[in-house]
Chain A
Amino acid sequence: MHELSIAMSIVDLAQEEAELRRVQVDAVHLELGALSGVVKDALLFSYEIACGGTLLEGSRLIVREIPVEVYCPACQTPKILASIQWFCCPDCGTPTSEVLHGRELMITALELKQ
């Protein structure tokens, strides 16, 4: 369970940005890849705790889950994996280890208070 330390990093980064830009944050938008090694529910739970006593207290974490996208050498095009337990092209079945997306753990936007 390392989601709490991840949540604390998210809060630190978002707080730093909010202070720099002098804005009040209502929500933090995050891209979370299926191969990031972070569990969404545990992260949401930890986020609330990590926000306590900071400028972000009461803010929300909005998670956009990113599926694993691989490059299929046979089809010569990016494909979305059907399952992270099966690194094969969902169309032609060719095995591939070339991951293009799915490792994201990225703050993409701050939603500001109206």
Chain B
Amino acid sequence: MNPEPRLLEVRKNVLKQNDVVARALRERFRAQGTFVVSLVSSPGAGKTTFLEKTLALCRPRCRVAALVGDLATENDARRLARSGAPVRQITTGTLCHLEAAMIEHALVDWDVGPLDILFIENVGNLVCPASYDLGEDLRAVLLSVTEGEDKPLKYPTIFNSADVAIITKIDLAAAVEFDGQAACASIQAVRPGMNVLKVSAKTNEGMEAYLQFLMENASRNLPKASV
């Protein structure tokens, strides 16, 4: 008979290193009065177009900037820079998600001055980004009408980890016979009570409501901030 295994008890959170950096970032942003919003979605859900429009609409009202994660190209950063807001690319190489240390590193010599809202666009991926806290105050998960209404059920972890769901490309809803009720039901199944906003970055439908939502959350989170 085998002897009982000798066990040495330890309790170590595998993601502790990331969580420590994320917590420090969150404290630092809060002290600076910066509200941080991260965007996650599958590739092609319209994150960049949506963010480009968001930055352009926010600029007259508050100080905004964006960090954008991508595997290889800097195309997204170039597109976002057209909004006039400061944008910095984080090229992740083969890594399929952003980690808190990459955010910290990207901030090192980025002289953007005080910000009211910093947006972080994650790599297009509905799996891996779920595990990594980036120090954000609000995580928005995007779902475009051209994806299946049951996508939240297929990727429950990331939808559950988010604070708001944004249905994008709503101008195409009729053309692709998108069932908004079914999509909302899927979202509510994996994250009961989550806010769902519907937008089109192309026609601006729903963008004003989204901006209001952002400003309200930013001011609630940062009572002393100017937003």
Contact = CB atoms under 8 A, between A and B. Distances in A.
Interface stretch (B6-14, B55-63, B71-79, B137-145): B6-14
Interface of B: 3, 5-15, 17, 95-97, 127-128, 130-131, 153, 156-158, 160-161, 188-194
Contacts of B5: 26-27, 111-112, 114
A106 to B, nearest CB: 5
Given A87-B191, A111-B7, A37 B14 contact: no
Interface residues on A, range: 35 or more
A81 to B, nearest CB: 10
Contact of A109 (B8, B17, B161): B8
A97 B12 contact: no
Contact of A35 (B7, B15, B17, B157): B157
A111 B6 contact: yes
Q: Is the interface of B mostly helix, strand, loop or mixed?
A: mixed
Contacts of A27: 5
A67 interface: no
Interface string A61-101: 00000000000000000000000111110000001110100
B131 A85 contact: no
A95 B192 CA distance: 6
A2 B129 CA distance: 9
B6 A112 contact: yes
Contact of A17 (B6, B12, B14, B97): B12
Ranked 10 nearest A-B pairs via Cβ: A95-B192, A37-B130, A37-B131, A2-B128, A107-B12, A112-B6, A110-B8, A105-B14, A109-B7, A85-B153
